[in-house]
Amino acid sequence: MKEEVKGIPVRVALRCRPLVPKEISEGCQMCLSFVPGEPQVVVGYNATVLAYGQTGSGKTYSMGGAYTAEQENEPTVGVIPRVIQLLFKEIDKKSDFEFTLKVSYLEIYNEEILDLLCPSREKAPQISIREDPKEGIKIVGLTEKTVLVALDTVSCLEQGNNCRTVASTAMNSQSSRSHAIFTISIEQRKKSDKNSSFRSKLHLVDLAGSERQKKTKAEGDRLKEGESN
């Protein structure tokens, strides 16, 4: 990826490690392939993208956490809307498959999960994290919206972003200390073989600011959170 920062071209590095001996002996397979000459990798069926950095460094903007429909065709449009566009483009090409897509969008603040697609504060205690032996980590009670086209999907993003902004204004810049996770669950079935179900998940994460909270002037909630770090 070649980026321009104030007119200066900057090379963005990408580092991946090879399999370690333990993984090789356990029969693990590489799940990445490399694009020659480009800092680009193609990943397997499940993927998580994390935006990490100090508050103000551009995590939310780069992920698409400030996305609005007017930005759709701008070169500045974030990672999440780009992923959505690309995903539906690929789906359109695979006419011999049937797809079911669901999205969820949550925020974790002060160890509490806020459902950004159904933002009622009363709902928060009903949401819990469980570990399912088959499906792995599951967030029970979280809204999952079925989406049919790219427009539905970016609308969920916009809805969640608005909700996040409202919460942030009400709670003294909450967003810099919260994590937001936009998840796209994809199920793919061959039209000729309905039992050939194949599932994958993409998690797109806007992490809380990486600065140490202890150093900040803290009051109330903020102090409580700073102490626990």
Residues near ligand ADP, by CB under 6 A: 53, 55-61, 66, 76, 176, 209
CA 100 to each of CA 4, 187, 188, 191: distance values in angstroms, whole numbers, following the listed order: 37, 5, 7, 12
56 is in an annotated binding site: yes
Name the residue type at position 76.
T
C-beta closer to ligand ADP: residue 39 or 56: 56
3-state SS class at 216: coil
* Choice from 33, 57, 60, 190 touching Mg ion (CB under 5 A): 60
Ligand-binding site membership of 188 (annotated)? no
Instruction: Calculate Rg over the CA atoms of the chain.
Output: 19
Among 66-74, 172-180, 197-205, 219-227, the segment contacting Mg ion (CB under 5 A): 172-180
Handedness of CA 56, 62, 64, 68 (dihedral sign): positive
Which residue is nearest to Mg ion, using beta carbons? Answer: 60
Taking CA atoms, 21 is separated from 17, 24, 34, 79, 158, in Å, by: 12, 5, 21, 34, 44
Q: Judged by CB under 5 A, does residue 168 bind Mg ion?
A: no
Query: 27 among the known binding-site residues?
Result: no
The annotation status of 59 as a binding-site residue, yes or no, is yes
In the complex with ligand ADP, which residue's Cβ is closer, 58 or 136? Answer: 58
Q: Which is nearer to ligand ADP, 39 or 53 (CB)?
A: 53
How far from 90 is each of 37, 121, 173, 177, CA to CA, in Å?
24, 37, 38, 35
146 annotated ligand-binding residue: no
Q: What minimum distance in Å lies between the beta carbon of 107 and Mg ion? A: 11
Residue whose C-alpha is closest to residue 127's, from 106, 146, 150: 106
Q: Would you say 49 or 186 has its CB closer to Mg ion?
A: 49
Name the minimum Å distance from CB 64 to Mg ion. Answer: 11
Binding-site residues for ATP sit at: 53-60
Judged by the rule CB under 5 A, the positions of this chain that interact with Mg ion are: 60, 175
